[in-house]
Amino acid sequence: MQAATMDPAEEPPSMLWGLDPVFSAFARLFVRDILQMTESAQVPGIYFYNSHPIYKVDVLGTVVYRRERDDFFCYGVDDGTGVINCLCWKSDLLKEEEDPTKSGGKHSDGAQGGFNPAAELKKLRQAQQSRCCLEIGELLRVRGRVKTSRQQREIMASTYYKVNDPVMAVQIAWMMDVPQLYRVCYDKPLQLQTNATGDSDISSLGKATNIIKEFFKEKSVTKFRPYDVQDLLQPLISSHPHTASADQEPVAGPSACQQIRQLLKEALQVLQDEGIVYRKVMSQDEVYHVTAHDKDLLIAVKDIIREDSKREKYAEKGCHILHILSAVRQRYSLNVSKVALELVLKSLECNSDIISTSDNHYTVF
């Protein structure tokens, strides 16, 4: 197979590769895609799948051929989409030859039931050999760097082992996980280009969340609807039509209004993940409550801690945060997250309404 090289003009700059989380991970790709990945023109040994820079992969498949040398095994691994050669180095323990002069007979054993280091080492060597010496038809998992040798794509394994999967549970889980990774990550092209103002999409989202946070602080907002803060993000969206180059016609794309709505949706999700806002009631009327300014929530949490701390079970250490969370969800709102509760507890503790008796335990004065 002739290794393809990516056009340098289409390749993202190497300085930006670290922004892609796939670059630092063992990518769970199908063998077919590993064989078809294009190699970087900037850095040999780096490959691209859908603009994602990749140099190490994670593969699960059936051994269809094997070759053994003094220092390594060569396994052909078939995952159903293709076959790739995996170079698996032997460990020093596996390469050591057993010295017959060191292997004692029954007279060398200690007392019955005693510990015999030589026998235990032999068992360890046998266990490792059973996991590393595979036969055709057995299931192998390999992690390692991708390499092109003699115009053939192969994997230089850093970790490999035989997978015991009598009921195919591992293979079924793998076949469910990998397509999901493709949908949410690998098949989405990496977006590292900057927009017309020179700000990346990541910084635009960060600016949007900061603008909304400042709005909460300045106006002491207790609750709001998305359209109440939508106009705040207007300066972050360029109203100029997208063009491929200066001398070309505008390219069709999302309108400014659509861009604002999408940015607002992502910013609100970030704020929810951080616990800064939450929705007390899930309904078509999207009402968001600002956690730190929601007096009803603060009172509800304080009341729960005060009442339950009187119970014998919590009298000594106080109420655990998970107990408080469960009680808040039962008595106040099912949609209060753990991170939101942590912000409430921090606020109450700063106001000296409650104290933490130990890690994750709280009580009243």
Question: In this predicted model, what pLDDT tens digit does every residue of 254-268 receive, in sequence order?
Answer: 678 888 889 999 999
Q: Residue 178 pLDDT > 60, yes or no? A: yes
| Class of the domain covering 14-95+118-186 | mainly beta
* Interval 354-358 mean pLDDT: 86
Give the fold, CATH level 3, of 294-364.
Answer: Arc Repressor Mutant, subunit A (1.10.10)
299 three-class SS: helix
Asked if 77 contacts 84 with a C-beta cutoff of 8 angstroms, the reply is yes
Delimit the domains of the chain by residue range. Answer: 14-95+118-186, 201-240+253-290, 294-364
In which band, very low, low, confident or very high, does the pLDDT at 66 lie, cut at 50, 70 and 90? very high
Question: How many CA atoms does the CB half-sphere of 213 hold within 13 Å?
Answer: 13
Pairing of strands 152-162, 83-89: parallel
| Phi, psi (degrees; rounded to nearest 5) at 145 | -80, 145
Residue of 23, 16, 72 lying closest to 185 (CA atoms): 23
Question: In this predicted model, what pLDDT tens digit does every residue of 68-103 receive, in sequence order?
Answer: 888 888 999 999 999 999 998 887 655 555 444 444
Beta bridge partners of 96: none
Q: Residue 141 pLDDT > 90, yes or no? A: yes
CA 111 to chain centre: 51
Residue of 214, 211, 208, 212 lying closest to 237 (CA atoms): 208
| CA–CA gap between residue 305 and residue 348 (Å, rounded) | 11
**Statement: 201-240+253-290 belongs to CATH 1.10.10.980:** yes
- pLDDT of 59 reads 96
| Angstrom distances, CA of residue 5 to CA of 42, 44, 47, 83, 85 | 10, 9, 9, 21, 20
**pTM, 2 dp:** 0.48
Question: In this predicted model, what pLDDT tens digit does every residue of 336-352 receive, in sequence order?
Answer: 999 999 999 999 988 88
| CA–CA gap between residue 308 and residue 355 (Å, rounded) | 14
Q: Is 14-95+118-186's fold the same as 201-240+253-290's?
A: no
Asked if 2 contacts 44 with a C-beta cutoff of 8 angstroms, the reply is no
Tokens representing 208?
A: 């949007």
Helices within 220-312 (DSSP H only): 226-229, 256-273, 295-308
Asked if 339 contacts 274 with a C-beta cutoff of 8 angstroms, the reply is yes
